[in-house]
Structure 1
Amino acid sequence: MSFSFFKALRPKTPQEVARSIKESLMALDTKTVVEVKALEKALEEVEKNFAAMRTLLSGDGESEPNLEQISQLVEEICREDVLTLLIHKLPILGWEARKDLVHCWSILLKQKVESNYCCVEYIEQHFELLDFLVVCYDNKEIALSTGIMLRDCIKFPTLAQYILESASFVLFFKFVELPNFDVASDAFSTFKDLLTKHANVVSEFLNAHYDEFFDLYEKLLMSPNYVTRRQSLKLLSEILLESPNTQIMRRYILEVRYLKVMMTLLRVFVANPNKPREVKIILAKNKEKLLELLQNLSPGKGSEDEELEEEKEFIMKEIGKISV
């Protein structure tokens, strides 16, 4: 009697893992997707191959991953255009496969091959992959997975810069207000990373697209959604207070329309008859400073300035009434 079937199977080489992933993803073609049984079988194969990739990249819990094998896998994945398939087939993948892919994604991006970020360089040559990931926020089934992958990409300045400059960037102003709270929150996290992770890149972008950006941002500050207003105001202060954005800040604070936005937001807080105790405490604590700041605002003589003067007087009156 032969006991050879008890013998452990030889682990796949990195090249074999990459090839198996490519073949299983390519099997998810239009014909396969239409046939339920064929799709189930193909997805099982993808899931098995992703698990093998995860083990190779992270180890099996008993032994550490082999760095040389990881480099070989990364090189093969880029050479065989597997990275493109990983992203484009994402909407079809099952939950377990997506989970393994998200886990592997950050590891893949960090790996250096011949002193270069191979996967990052690949994406730099295929920027449309980033556009695809951004648009995936419209698919709530995969939005949280692609959001994590996008934030991993944004850690690299060249990839963040591309998204900022791309036509898909403006979609974030829609995504952060999607009706699905989890997806909207995730989109805002990605939006924030884009605007805060690389100060010099962001400064160049804002200088080049000042009017377009702040026109869109004003809508977030005036959103009927309280969470959106609060998050957007906090993020705005972070952006404007970054040292490379000093000129942007000076330009912003000179514009009457943006002062009106801030006055409106302040009015919302001070005029609310049902202010939470925490808000009352903050306003009371800063009462004198706020009154002094408002007193020093010097409107001009236009109709808009007259409106601002009336708004200022109303807010000062309301702040004066605040006590804890």
Structure 2
Amino acid sequence: MAKKLTMKGLFKPKARSPLELVKHTHELLMFLDRNMDAREQKRKEKMDELSKAILEIRTVLYGDEESEPNKDSCAQLTQEFFRGDTFRLLIVCLPKLNLGARKNTTHVIANLLRQRVQSQLLALEYLEKNIDLMDILIKGYEDSGDVALSYGAISRECIRHQNVARYVLESDHMKKFFDYIQTPNFDIASDAAATFKELMTRHKSTVAQFLSKNYEWFFQEYNSQLLESSNYITKRQAIKLLGDVLLDRSNSAVMVQYVCSLDNMRILMNLLRDPKKTIKLETFHVFKLFVANQNKPPEIVNVLITNRTKLLRFFDDFTIEKEDEQFETAKADVINEISVLEPKPKISSILSFRNNCEVKC
């Protein structure tokens, strides 16, 4: 038996070197990309071969049960991937792969994007020279299948790099995100929302510049499509994200501009009427910014005074399930601020909270 096992080991295929492995994968991807009309059997054979190659690449990068990844092998593989444009081919051909290969490919790409070779992040330089890859990845949300989820996961890895995130923020893709987030497919909508959140929160200075330049159209779309959405999850995520963005110090100028808008406050007052307590709580964290603003425009002051009785009654009865000292303090501050407001010169039109945004107490 021992002799048989030894003989069997002699005929075990020799593992490919990282360079051979990438070259082989590149050739298989080229075949799939260019031979759409190839015989079904031939395509299946190539696909099976490619799936094995991608799994082998994943093993090199992540290791397996028997061994940890080898640093030199990872470096060689990473260099070859970006040198020969195999990275681009892998993204372009992703929709043609089977589910298992797509999952492994997503892990491979995530690793390559973070892999350092001699302290250099090769992925960043490559992405900056091939920034159009982000057009392919973001447009993946227009696919109705699970390809959208793979492209979404890769997109989030790419926008970890500030220059890549800046490109997406300054592109027309940002306007399309409002549609992606509201797509009927729950998984795709949730994934798009996750990518959108990553774009709006990861790189503080870049986000602040984007919001400053695009304030008008961005918040018009954000308010009308997300905050006023009929979908509970869309609305809840949008309010939470709005609070995170406005409360970030980098966005202080944008926050002041936002809370000086009567139209914005009208939307928040409407949201306080929502039957869902989670919506009310997230709304409160944004609404308190309007009240705390020490330079409230006259129209906002007058609206708060006009609706003082109902607002005070609402906040007096507004509680949360768990004891939260910070929440109670913030609520007390809001109640006190509204209580002592003094009228300012009247404006031509005043929003009536009583008529249009009555709080259900």
Q: TM-score range by the shorter chain?
A: 0.7 to 0.9
1:112 aligned residue: 116
2:352 aligned residue: 307
1:142 aligned residue: 147
Distance 2:233 2:139 in 1: 23
Amino acid at match of 1:49: A
2:260 matched to 1:254?
A: yes
Q: 1:304 to 1:43 in 2, by over 3 A?
A: farther
Amino acid at match of 2:263: R
Select 1:152's aligned residue among 143, 157, 166.
157
1:169-248 to 2 correspondences below 5 Å: 169-219=174-224, 220-248=226-254
Q: 1:280 to 1:243 in 2, by over 3 A?
A: closer
2:167 matched to 1:162?
A: yes
1:310 CA drift (Å): 4.7
Using the TM superposition, name which of 155-164 and 31-40 deviates more.
31-40
2:10 matched to 1:25?
A: no
Deviation track 1:42-64 (CA, whole Å, cap 9, x = no partner) reads 21121011011011111132111
Q: 1:41 to 1:255 in 2, by over 3 A?
A: same
Q: 1:309 to 1:22 in 2, by over 3 A?
A: same
Q: 1:118 to 1:288 in 2, by over 3 A?
A: closer
Q: Secondary structure at the match of 2:146?
A: coil
Amino acid at match of 2:352: E
Amino acid at match of 1:31: N
Distance 1:117 1:305 in 2: 56
Is this contact kept in 2: 1:50–1:101, CA < 8 A? yes
Using the TM superposition, name which of 91-100 and 114-123 deviates more.
114-123
Deviation track 1:250-302 (CA, whole Å, cap 9, x = no partner) reads 0111111111111111123499xxxxxxx963399687655545554968644
Amino acid at match of 1:107: N
Distance 2:276 2:88 in 1: 52
Deviation track 1:198-220 (CA, whole Å, cap 9, x = no partner) reads 11111111111111211111121
1:87 aligned residue: 91
2:72 matched to 1:68?
A: yes
Distance 1:105 1:48 in 2: 16
Distance 1:206 1:298 in 2: 32
Q: Secondary structure at the match of 1:281?
A: coil
Q: 1:9 to 1:153 in 2, by over 3 A?
A: same
Distance 1:192 1:281 in 2: 28
1:114 CA drift (Å): 3.6
Is this contact kept in 2: 1:108–1:119, CA < 8 A? yes
Distance 1:134 1:98 in 2: 17
Deviation track 1:49-89 (CA, whole Å, cap 9, x = no partner) reads 10110111111321111111111111111110001101111
* Aligned-residue identity in percent: 34
Q: 1:281 to 1:4 in 2, by over 3 A?
A: closer
Q: 1:70 to 1:78 in 2, by over 3 A?
A: same
Deviation track 1:16-62 (CA, whole Å, cap 9, x = no partner) reads 11101100001113533564223212211210110110111111321
Distance 2:220 2:44 in 1: 47
Is this contact kept in 2: 1:299–1:309, CA < 8 A? no
RMSD between superposed Cα atoms in Å: 2.8
Q: Secondary structure at the match of 2:32?
A: coil
Amino acid at match of 2:271: L
Is this contact kept in 1: 2:82–2:123, CA < 8 A? yes
1:311 CA drift (Å): 4.5
Distance 2:53 2:206 in 1: 38
1:174 CA drift (Å): 0.7
Q: Secondary structure at the match of 1:8?
A: coil
Select 2:14's aligned residue among 10, 14, 23.
10
Distance 2:13 2:350 in 1: 79
Is this contact kept in 2: 1:32–1:38, CA < 8 A? no
Unpaired runs of 5+ residues, structure 2, are 278-316, 322-326
Amino acid at match of 2:81: I
